[in-house]
Amino acid sequence: MTDEKDANAQQDVQRWLVTPGEVITEERVKLGPGVYVQDGKVIAKVLGLAELRNGMARVVPLEGNYVPKQGDTVVGIVVDVKIPGYDVDINSPYKAFLPRDQVREPLEYGDVIVATVRFVDEVKNSVIENARKLEGGELIYIASPRVPRVIGKNASMITNIKNLTGSRVIVGANGRIWIKGGYSDIARDAIYKIEREAHTHGLTDRIAEYIKDRISESESNGEEGKEN
C-alpha cells in the first residue's frame, strides 16, 4: 500500500490538467496517446491529465466515448439476435459482434454479458469472445476514461471496494459496470465518487474511508442496506 502511495505521489507531481492545444514539452520525447507534434512541440490533443515520465509524453483523457481495443474486458447488452451470432451494444459509437460459439447459452435481446475484445478492424467494429451472461444485479455507467481509476494500480481500488462492500463487481473498460449483492448501493456510490474525483490524488484511501463510513452509518440506522 505504501509503495503504491509513493508511486502515486511521484506520478501526481508530474501530472497536470491540460486542454487541447496546450504545449506539454519542447524536448524530444517518446509520444504516448493524447498528444501530437507540431513545430518541434509536443501538444495536448484532449482534455485530460498530461504526464511527462520516463522520457514519454502523453495525455490521459478525462472524457470521451469508448473505442474498443483488443484485449479489453467489456460489459455489453445484446441488441440483435442473428444466425451467426449477436450484435452487442458496448456503449460505444462502434458495435461489437459475438459469435454464437463464444457463449455457452443462447442469448436474448436485452441480456447483459461480459466478454473480451478479440479483434478490432479498421473501422473499429469488433468481435468479442468468451462471453458470460450476467443475471440480476445493477448496471451503471461511468465515463470510460475514468475506468482505470476505478480499477486502480494492480486492481487495488476495485479489490478494496469488493472486499469492503461484499458486492460482486465487474468493470468493463467501456465504462459499464455490473454490481450485484452486498452493499451494492454503497459500491455504486463509491464508484460514482471515483468517477467525479478521478483527477485528484489520495483517492484510494478516501474511497476506503467513504465506504467504511457509509457502512457503519447504514448499520447504525438499521437500514436494509445489504442485498443478497
Partner 1 sequence: MSNEFIWEFDKDRVRRFALRGLRLDRRGPLDYRPISIATDVFANADGSAVVDLGGTKVAAGVKYELGSPFPDTPNKGAVMVDAELLPMANPTFEPGPPDENAIELARVVDRGIRESNAIDLEKLAVEPGKWVWLVFVDLRVLDDNGNLFDAASMAAITALATSKIPVVEWDGDTPTIVRGDYDRPLEVSEIPLLTTFVKIGNAIFVDPSADEMRAADARISVATVDDGSVTAIQKGGEGAFTKEELSLVFDRAIDRGKYLREIVKKVI
Partner 2 sequence: MAKKAKKIDIRSDGREFDELREIKIQAGVLDQADGSARVDWGITMKRIAVSEKTYNKVESLREQFYIIPRGKGGKKYLVDVPAKLLDKIGDEFGDYEVVGEHFKGNVAIVAVHGPREPIPRHVADPYRAVLRFRYTMAPFSVPERKRPAPGRREIEISKVSREALQGVVFANEYPMTAIDIFAELLSADAGTRVTAITAASVALADAGIPMKDLVAAVAVGRAYGHLVADLTKFEEDAPDAVDFPMAVVPRTEEITLAQMDGRIAKKDLDELVELGIKKAKEISALQRQALKEKYQRVVENEQ
Interface residues with partner 1 (CB under 8 A) are: 65-66, 77, 79, 89, 91-93, 109-110, 112, 138-139, 141, 176
Does 175 sit near partner 2 (CB under 8 A)?
no
Q: Which does 20 bind (CB under 5 to 8 A by kind): partner 1, partner 2, none?
A: partner 2
| Minimum separation from the CB atom of position 139 to partner 1 (A) | 5
Nearest Cα to Cα of residue 174 among 85, 75, 97, 47: 75
Q: What are phi and psi of 162, to 5 degrees?
A: -65, -45
Q: CA–CA distance from 177 to each of 3, 12, 73, 114, 189 (Å)? A: 28, 26, 11, 10, 12
Q: CA–CA distance from 170 to each of 74, 109, 147, 176, 204 (Å)? A: 9, 20, 11, 9, 18
Q: Which does 81 bind (CB under 5 to 8 A by kind): partner 1, partner 2, none?
A: none
- Among positions 4, 22, 129, 189, the unique one binding partner 2 when judged by CB under 8 A: 22
| Minimum separation from the CB atom of position 82 to partner 2 (A) | 17
How crowded is residue 167: how many other Cβ atoms within 10 Å of its Cβ?
24
Across the strands, what pairs with 25? 42
Q: For residues 40-99, which are near partner 2 according to CB under 8 A?
A: 43, 45-48, 61-65, 67, 93-95
Does 123 sit near partner 2 (CB under 8 A)?
yes
Q: Which does 34 bind (CB under 5 to 8 A by kind): partner 2, partner 1, none?
A: partner 2
| Minimum separation from the CB atom of position 133 to partner 1 (A) | 12
What secondary structure letter does DSSP report for 100? Answer: G
Q: Which does 199 bind (CB under 5 to 8 A by kind): partner 2, partner 1, none?
A: partner 2
Q: What are phi and psi of 53, to 5 degrees?
A: -150, 135
Alpha-carbon distance 102 to 133, whole Å? 11
Does 17 sit near partner 2 (CB under 8 A)?
yes
Q: For residues 128-147, which are near partner 2 according to CB under 8 A?
A: 143, 145
| Minimum separation from the CB atom of position 65 to partner 2 (A) | 6
Q: Which does 145 bind (CB under 5 to 8 A by kind): partner 1, partner 2, none?
A: partner 2
Q: Which does 120 bind (CB under 5 to 8 A by kind): partner 2, partner 1, none?
A: none
Q: CA–CA distance from 52 to each of 24, 60, 97 (Å)? A: 8, 11, 37
- CA-only gyration radius of the chain, Å: 20
C-alpha cell at 31: 509520444
Binding site residues, partner 2, CB under 8 A: 17, 19-22, 34, 36, 38, 43, 45-48, 61-65, 67, 93-95, 122-124, 143, 145, 193, 196-197, 199-200
